[in-house]
């Protein structure tokens, strides 16, 4: 599709989170955007709950978008294990609800999936590998991915890895959890080395969504930063970028160290390879170290 700031209209659901900030900035530059979320934490957000089909359909049809982007997700793995129904309603039914509206309008539909849908039996996963979800977060997201690819003709499904972005106020993932420990004065960080993956910078990810949508190459894509690593690698690099290497010790531990706090099942490896993006010349994702260096500038030095 072609984007024109004066005429193109894009509806974005679940836009109040860490990915939403980057996606809103990217698409507001090229289209008229209606951004919604159940948490209206920005002045540019309107209320929208993807679990409620009739309300969402009325709102979207009134806006008459040229494309629908669904970022809404319950991404806390432990919360998904505790609130199983909510996980299914948000991650799976929500995917269906907006997909049905996209089909009614005949417009492209973007759904965000996750590397977490794999079971960790392999070290690397391409776009063509079959999911083997372990927990309810992964199962509900895998259903959303499967339903969208089978039911929505004009679909773009993007699998993300370990998300990082949006700074101290919105980042709910690994980087900000590390930073909060540093702010609290911790000089020793315990970080696991037995969980492997591919970081994903929200800014690059949003640029990638735009790039692929412009290409009209519908389909499912792995879209993660270049390179792969362990959680330990990421933590050590982040501490180095904050110039805290001499003050903070990063101690290697196994996942059992956090088994009570992080009890949801997680694959040993969820490394993705951007096979299709590379083959089609659509890959805009930079190396994770380059992205982390850029992202670290958003964090005040301690």
Distances (CA, A) of 69 to 23, 101, 111, 156: 9, 12, 6, 9
pLDDT tens, residue by residue, 180-218:
999 999 999 999 999 999 999 999 999 999 999 999 999
9-166+199-228+271-286, CATH topology level: Rossmann fold (3.40.50)
Cα atoms found within 13 Å of the Cα of residue 272, Cβ hemisphere only: 32
Which residue, chain included where needed, has tokens 């490394």? 271
30 backbone dihedrals φ, ψ, rounded to 5°: -125, 0
Q: Does residue 125 register a pLDDT over 90?
A: yes
Give the pLDDT confidence of 210-236 residue by residue, as tens digits: 999 999 999 999 999 999 999 999 999
| CB environment 144-172: b (16+ within 10 A), e (fewer) | bbbbbeeebebbbbbbbbbbbbbbeebbe
Q: Of all helices (H) and strands (E), which one includes residue 264? A: none
Model confidence, pTM: 0.95
pLDDT for 152 equals 98
Residue 261 has pLDDT above 90, yes or no: no
Q: Map out the domains of the chain as residue ranges.
A: 9-166+199-228+271-286
CA-wise closest residue to 36 among 27, 26, 28, 46: 46
Give the H/E segment covering residue 198: none
Q: How confident is the model at residue 176 (pLDDT cuts 50, 70, 90)?
A: very high
Residues 227 and 213: their CA atoms lie apart, in Å, by 24
């Amino acid at each position: 599709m072609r984007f024109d700031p004066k005429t193109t209209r894009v509806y974005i659901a679940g836009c109040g989170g860490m990915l939403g900030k980057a996606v809103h900035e990217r698409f507001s530059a090229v289209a008229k955007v209606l951004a919604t979320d159940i948490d209206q934490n920005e002045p540019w957000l309107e209320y929208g709950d993807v679990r409620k089909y009739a309300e969402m359909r009325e709102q979207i049809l009134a806006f008459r978008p040229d494309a629908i982007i669904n970022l809404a997700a319950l991404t806390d793995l432990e919360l998904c294990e505790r609130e199983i129904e909510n996980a299914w309603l948000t991650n799976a039914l929500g995917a269906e609800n907006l997909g049905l509206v996209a089909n009614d309008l005949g417009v492209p539909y973007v759904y965000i999936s996750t590397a977490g849908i794999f079971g960790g039996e392999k070290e690397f996963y391409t776009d063509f590998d079959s999911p083997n979800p372990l927990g309810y977060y992964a199962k509900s997201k895998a259903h959303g991915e499967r339903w969208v690819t089978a039911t929505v003709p004009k679909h773009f499904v993007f699998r993300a890895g370990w998300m990082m972005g949006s700074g101290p106020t919105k980042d709910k993932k690994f980087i900000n959890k590390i930073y909060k420990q540093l702010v609290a004065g911790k000089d020793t960080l315990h970080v696991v080395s037995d969980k492997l993956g591919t970081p994903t910078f929200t800014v690059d990810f949003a640029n990638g969504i735009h790039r692929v949508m412009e290409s009209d190459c519908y389909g499912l894509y792995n879209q993660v930063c270049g390179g792969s690593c362990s959680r330990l690698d990421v933590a050590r690099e982040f501490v180095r970028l904050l110039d805290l290497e001499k003050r903070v010790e990063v101690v290697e531990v196994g996942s059992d160290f956090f088994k009570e706090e992080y009890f949801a099942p997680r694959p040993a490896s969820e490394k993705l390879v951007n096979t299709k993006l590379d083959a089609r010349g659509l890959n805009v994702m930079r190396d994770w170290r380059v992205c982390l260096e850029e992202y670290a500038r958003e964090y005040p030095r301690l």
